[in-house]
Amino acid sequence: MTAADDGRRRRLLRLADARGIVAGIALDHRDSLRATLERRGITGLTTDDLRALKTRLVEALAPASTALMLDAELGEPALETGCVPAWVGLIMPLEAQGYEAAGDDRTTSLMPDFPPLEAVRYGADACKLLVPYRVDRAQAATQDATIAAAAAACHELGLPLVVEPLVYRVSTETPDAYAAAYADLVMRAVARLATLGADLLKLPFPVADLAAAGEVAGAAACARLHDACAGTPWVLLGAGVATDVFVEQVRLAGQAGASGFLAGRGIWGTALSGDPEAAGRLAATTSLAAFRRCRDVAERFARPLDIR
């Protein structure tokens, strides 16, 4: 094992608790944060307002987590003012914004001014790459190349890479057709991505509607998902679902082999406000209570990180 490999292993373990369970907050949203606020009628916020909002959310939620996913663009004040406790693993994104407007063949671009070396300078323990991914379209090969290049750049510096596939609906699909194909698209995507150098996969729950599918089907799908990972550790992403739903998803995923979760809007979305101080108060009460429910379930059912 090289020094870089050993450093990567140690940094990956910093994303988890002492047992190897990840209970993380995803707060690296940029364009999507602005869009979420606008959908709620919260408009006119400046970049400084958004930075203050993120800082309040970080202050309330980061101390209860094992890992925090945070960007430099809007999260820098939280990083500079020491809001992220030393025991919390820091994950920083590499992807540029704008992929949601790219049509049916969305590809990921890396931020030219934020390479993995910049993440190291911020003290990051890992980098993250979100990849819109449709294994049934030609753009998957382009995405594969981007992931492999990002993994190599991170590994050279001893940084692990977290990869998050976004299996989206294309314009020619009806919602019903997409829902019917969803599980298969996720499984095929994960099987392909697991070979490209990711150290941790941040994955969606593999059933589009757990309530409709039922617990048995959900558990079976999670087992298939774990097999598709082929030994690469994985955690569950939140996708903005309600806490009651996510708690059940965390349980089923953990029983199948997931090592915990990295959740975002479903945890802190209820705290969003145009007033950062009000957002901080909501995050410290409602959002924090929801997060602790999820962490309790992960600690009971998730499988510790197995890093070889």
Residue 147 has pLDDT above 90, yes or no: yes
Percent of the chain with pLDDT over 70: 97
**Whole-angstrom distance, CA of residue 275 vs CA of residue 175:** 36
Of 27, 6, 152, give the one whose Cα is nearest residue 92.
27
Alpha carbon distance 45, 104 (integer Å): 30
CA–CA gap between residue 106 and residue 133 (Å, rounded): 8
Q: How far apart are the first and last CA of the chain?
A: 10
Residues of the chain with pLDDT > 90, as a percent, come to: 86
pLDDT higher than threshold 90 for residue 87? yes
Check residue 99 and give its pLDDT.
Answer: 59
Model pLDDT for residues 31-66, shown as the tens digit of each residue: 889 988 999 899 889 999 999 999 999 999 999 999
Q: What confidence category does residue 102 fall into, taking pLDDT thresholds of 50, 70 and 90?
A: low
**CB 225 within 8 Å of CB 189:** no
User: Would you say 228 and 189 are in contact if contact means Cβ atoms under 8 Å apart?
Assistant: no
Contact at 8 Å (CB) between 235 and 22? yes
Provide the mean pLDDT of the chain: 94
CA-based nearest residue to 205, from 134, 147, 256: 256
By the 10 Å C-beta count (0-12 exposed, 13-18 middle, 19+ buried), 86 is classed as: exposed
Closest CA to 259 of 213, 302, 293, 307: 302
Pick the CATH number of 3-301 from 3.20.20.70, 3.30.565.10, 3.60.15.10, 3.40.800.20: 3.20.20.70
pLDDT for res 209: 86
Domain boundaries, the chain: 3-301
